Amino acid sequence: MGKWKSEAEAREEIKNLVAEYYHRFKEQKKDFEPGDRVSYASRVFDEKEMLSLTDATLDFWLTTGRFADEFEKKFAEWIGVKRAYLVNSGSSANLLAFMTLTAPELGERQIKRGDEVITVACGFPTTVTPILQYGAVPVFLDVTVPEYNIDVSRLEDALSEKTKAVMIAHTLGNPFNLEVIKKFCDKHHLWLIEDNCDALGSRYTIDGETRFTGTFGDIGTSSFYPPHHMTMGEGGCVYTNDSKLGRLILSYRDWGRDCICPSGQDNFCKHRFSGQYGQLPKGYDHKYTYSHFGYNLKVTDMQAAVGVEQLKKFPRFIEKRKANWAFLKEALSDIEGLILPEAAKNADPSWFGFLLSVKEESGVKRNDLTAFLEKANIQTRLLFSGNLIKHPCFDQIRGTDAYRVVGELKNTDYIMEHSFWIGVYPGMTKEMLQYMVDKIHEGMRECKKK
């Protein structure tokens, strides 16, 4: 019982043991050999994340706390926004971003049921799910190849008197045409939500000004799921420069409360029992007054503690992703049967993956090639939903007025049939990258014989 003189001393000994544990049992020591598993993504960490997590665990503050506060502040400073709010996932971040725009405080710009939101069907479903679940109408446009982002030439065709917003993702780190879309949104007084979950660290330049993606729109979102650019396990973030939107984001995230008092703090606002709200009696506890139909989407401090250390490593992660992507682009450029990805104009992508499309005239089927690579222990992924409206979740609303399609989704369907991607995460070595290159060359030859 008398071993430690103080809590600080006890913590230090525990953390020394955790560091020793990491170096002995978790640190990567084995060199890659051809045939070893090549994942499309993986967390990259060292003892510092484990030590920060240990600190938070010993605090035993089980909800949002000091580490979350630190992360929100440093993340906002890094990405270049005034306000950032942690949530429990990237999907929750998209839900929160959209629901914020349904707040009555926004007046004539409030998104109401039946209003339309321009988006794409080629992407991850949770960019679209909040729109449908609320009762708004997604309006789907096609995408371009080989950028794999929204076809901005059809924006005006998609516009109607009901259009209130544009909500789309930057595909696998490649920014969509922010210059055109920002002008379109400004011209028609539309909200812009940037789903930045696959593009954290990407940059874009408009009129000589370069900024991180996620900061051009009214609201940006990020995901910190383990395969993403940085991780805290589960986790996400919603960010904005608009003070009113920031206040609404916080309310919807924290049960829909009207009160701004942080968790565990009472009467921070100094008028907990003095206000008059709705039809409640005067003086009703402001901490339990709800101005919105909200949620509890907060992150735990343990997750945030991991994120604090990941953020310090993040600039290195970005550069490694870029270098890995460039290696693959050069090494696969001699294969005529593949369409290789291209960075968008005015963009400096922080790549999430390397996207390939198998040409129809190549004599190779995408599924045969991905099966060949998976057999060689190389993990592959399709471009998420391919065409979302062809999934079972649309069975009960297909062909109804719950959504609109503008034009034909020809490229979307092409991607659904012919495209896949492989990883570029920062833990990849040159040996792993070269193994993938060799196997893709071999696979294109072998699958053509079928």
Catalytic residue ranges: 228
Q: Given the structure tokens 């919603």, which residue do they identify?
A: 238
Cβ–Cβ < 8 Å for 94, 126: yes
Helix ranges (H only) for 80-177 are 90-100, 129-134, 155-158
Beta-strand (E) ranges in 38-155?
83-87, 116-120, 137-141
Q: Give the rounded distance of the alpha carbon of 170 from its chain centre.
A: 9
Crossing angle for the helix pair 90-100 and 243-253, nearest 10 degrees? 120
Enumerate the β-bridge partners of residue 367.
Answer: none
Neighbours of 180 (CB within 10 A): 14
Whole-angstrom distance, CA of residue 326 vs CA of residue 309: 27
Cβ–Cβ < 8 Å for 347, 322: no
Q: Which of 180, 107, 90, 85 is nearest to 141 (CA)?
A: 180
Q: Which of 143, 133, 147, 71 is nearest to 98 (CA)?
A: 133
Rg for the chain, CA atoms, rounded: 24
Long-range contacts of 71-77 (CB under 8 A, 24+ apart): 71/232, 71/304, 71/307, 71/308, 71/311, 72/237, 74/308, 74/311, 75/237, 75/239, 75/307, 75/311, 76/239
- Residue 395: CB partners within 8 Å, gap ≥ 6? none
End-to-end CA, the chain: 72
Cβ–Cβ < 8 Å for 11, 51: no
Structure tokens at 20: 């020793």
Neighbours of 267 (CB within 10 A): 13
